[in-house]
Amino acid sequence: MSTTGTPANTELVFLPLGGIGEIGLNAYLYGIGPADDRQWLMIDCGITFPDDTEPGVDIVLPDLRFIEEERKSLAGILITHAHEDHIGAVAEMWPRLRAPVYVTKFAAHLLKSKLQEHSHAAEVPIIEMAQGSRFKIGQFDVDLVTVSHSIPESNSVFLRTPAGNVLHTGDWKFDDTPGFGDPTDEAKLARLGDEGVRVLVCDSTNALVEGKSATEAAVGENLKAVIARAKGRIAITTFASNVNRLTAIAEAARAAGRELVLVGRAMHRIVMAARDTGLWPEHLTYFDQDSFASIPRDKVAALVTGSQGEVLAALARIAKGEHPLVKFDRGDSIVFSSRTIPGNEDGVIRIQNQLAERGISIVTEAPDGPIHASGHPRKGELTRLYRLARPHYLLPMHGEPRHLEAHASFAEAHGIMAVRGVRDGRMFHLGPSDPHLIDADVPIGRLYRDGNLILKSGDPAIVQRRRLSWNGHIAVSVVLQRNGEFAAEPEIGVNGVPMSDAEGLDMGERALSAVYNAVESIPRSRRKDRELIRDAVRRSIRAEMKLVWGKKPVCSVLVSIL
């Protein structure tokens, strides 16, 4: 690629703050200009969900402190699509960035409704762009390319810069028959290929999978056959945000002479957003869950949230027979039109077992063909994109290391140079020279939304909580007189520790004797040193517990001297 005409000081850099090395938490920065005067564009600002090492955390947000410090040079935040891993952090993080937010209509609708929970809602400049449009964000020349995915209005982003052009795919797939949605704009991709794609920054989620994704139209046909065969009540659970799938299910229910009932808050929210933005076909009527009981058994089809086994979602309550309005019994069926995301298997299996115990049939596949399709490109689709865009370099994103490495090798096998070693917090030069690492340790991390607070990266609360969950807690209050004698019997509080040891002795009593031993081993003259007493008591209790229980609880000791 020629670099003639590129101003000597114009450099294009790329910095992921989240999303490379994990699936989720997408937050990518592009920077143009010289190192001391760069302008930045953020593409996506998403969340992820906590894993089992992060107990009690509601959601995980990306640590954006790098760009918070540079926020005067942040030209805007551009959102590719409305999945939570791409848009979910905007409402919460915006006050730290205060840049305009660029979104398409459907995502804008969902973002605005989410912002209503925040006091800064009115301050956020939300700029709606049309799909396929070209516009400027600061110095960035942005051109959107419509792509198929598993939510309406997904976009790839083409950036024309003096240091070379980048095609940032966002989440995408090829689906030539997407049902109600738009197919990927192949003609535009080919035109951009003609114009020149220096770097393809591309979704790696399914880079390990051969072949090509099933099409939504085929999934819709297969679901239609499943619904047509059903005898009793039927419910279909899927990701609420997949509006194409929802409309296909609504169409299938209609064809089978069944009334569609929406069950679960997220299902309502998405269908409302789709209706308000013109994405829901008007002839597809639906009922609220209040109507479920009044519709005859063989005339109802419910769309239900909770395909990932979420304990608070509608499906979990139906499976336990605890849903106040929606009851399923022997002879009814529940269809899983979804893939179980790794990490959620236990929850999904628990629900399926509960359904099976109650005689409800579980449908996870159909003889006719797939009843779910992924929203991400498999190898066959990646090669189709390579042929259209003809990139010089491939930079794999949206993947765990195993996906990124597989994607890099796959591109190299197709004669495309891979930019390897890109991870969150590593800034890369993308042009005009060959891509290379320029800063290996930009600060990044995970922020936790914990109740009403956002905890900083590295807040010890979560580590402590993990320890408490494994080892329990013993609290002791020691009150001494000035002469070193006990003023009262120490008080002990025990949580998450077994009640008694192998001989049946009370664990609180065992802890109490450890407290006396520890204090009495300290000469009376030195019993004014609170720190010394605290340490001795803590050590003594932990040693005693180790001896009888084999585990050391977390120990809090409060010492007062009268």
| Residues within the interface to Zn ion (CB under 5 A) | 83, 85, 171
Length of the chain as a residue count: 562
Minimum distance from residue 423 beta carbon to Zn ion (Å): 17
Give yes or no for a cis peptide into 432 (omega within 30° of 0): yes
Tell me which DSSP letter residue 389 carries.
H
CA distances from 144 to 31, 141, 169, 450, 556 (A): 18, 10, 10, 36, 57
Based on CB atoms, which residue is closest to Zn ion, 139 or 344?
344
Q: Which is closer to Zn ion, CB of 239 or CB of 428? A: 239
Instruction: Kindly state the smallest distance separating residue 274's Cβ from Zn ion, in Å.
Output: 16
Question: Shortest Cβ distance from residue 203 to Zn ion (Å)?
Answer: 8
| Residue placing its CB nearer to Zn ion in the complex, 48 or 237 | 48
- Nearer to Zn ion (CB atom), residue 165 or residue 204: 204
Quote the least distance from Cβ 395 to Zn ion, whole Å.
Answer: 16
In which residue are the tokens 């996870």 written? 364
Q: Are 380 and 210 in contact (CB under 8 A)?
A: yes
> Vertex 138, ends 3 and 117: CA angle to 5°?
135
User: What are the CB-based long-range contacts (under 8 Å, 24+) for 113-121?
Assistant: 113/269, 113/273, 115/91, 117/91, 118/91, 118/92, 120/94, 120/95
Two tokens, residue 1: 């690629």
With H, G, I as helix, E, B as strand and everything else as coil, classify residue 60: strand
In the bound complex, what is the minimum distance in angstroms from residue 376's beta carbon to Zn ion? 8
Helix locations, 423-506, DSSP H: 460-471
Cβ neighbours, 10 Å, residue 464 = 12
User: Are 32 and 163 spatial neighbours (Cβ–Cβ below 8 Å)?
Assistant: yes
Beta carbon nearer to Zn ion, 40 or 172: 172
Shortest gap between Cβ of 175 and Zn ion (angstroms)? 14
Q: How far is the CB of 82 from Zn ion (least distance, A)?
A: 8
d(CA 229, CA 86): 38
Strand-pair category, 234-237 with 333-336: parallel
CB 139 to Zn ion: min, Å: 27
Cβ neighbours of residue 72 closer than 8 Å, sequence gap 6 or more: none
- Residue 73 is given by DSSP the state G
Return the SS3 of 137.
strand
454, two tokens: 């956002």
End-to-end CA distance of the chain: 81
Q: Using CA atoms in the order 274, 75, 95, 83, what is the torsion angle rounded to 10 degrees?
A: 30
Q: Which is nearer to Zn ion, 83 or 198 (CB)?
A: 83
Least CB distance from residue 83 to Zn ion, whole Å?
4
Give whichever of 85 and 332 is closer to Zn ion, judged by the CB atom: 85
Question: What's the CA gap between 391 and 29, in Å, rounded?
Answer: 20
Q: How far apart are CB 19 and Zn ion at their closest, in Å?
A: 8
Nearer to Zn ion, 83 or 269 (CB): 83
CB of residue 26 vs Zn ion: minimum separation in angstroms?
Answer: 6
What lies within 8 Å, CB to CB, of 66 at 6+ separation is 15, 17, 29, 442, 443, 444
Q: Taking the complex as a whole, how short is the minimal distance between the CB of residue 88 and Zn ion, in angstroms?
A: 10
Which pair of tokens denotes residue 408? Answer: 């890099």
Question: Measured at the alpha carbon of residue 423, what is the angle toward residues 65 and 163, in degrees to the nearest 5?
Answer: 85
- Nearer to Zn ion among residue 83 and residue 379 (C-beta): 83
- In the complex, least distance from residue 398 CB atom to Zn ion, rounded to whole angstroms: 6
Please say whether the beta carbons of 150 and 375 come within 8 A. Answer: yes
Q: Which is nearer to Zn ion, 22 or 171 (CB)?
A: 171
Taking alpha carbons only, the member of 74, 93, 78, 165 closest to residue 129 is: 78
- Cβ proximity to Zn ion, 83 vs 109, nearer residue: 83
CA–CA distance from 158 to each of 28, 109, 139, 461 (Å)? 14, 24, 14, 42
Q: How far is the CB of 25 from Zn ion (least distance, A)?
A: 10
Considering beta carbons, is residue 171 or 251 the nearer one to Zn ion? 171
β-pairing, 333-336 vs 361-363, is parallel
Residue closer to Zn ion, measured from CB, 224 or 245: 245
Q: Which is nearer to Zn ion, 240 or 260 (CB)?
A: 240
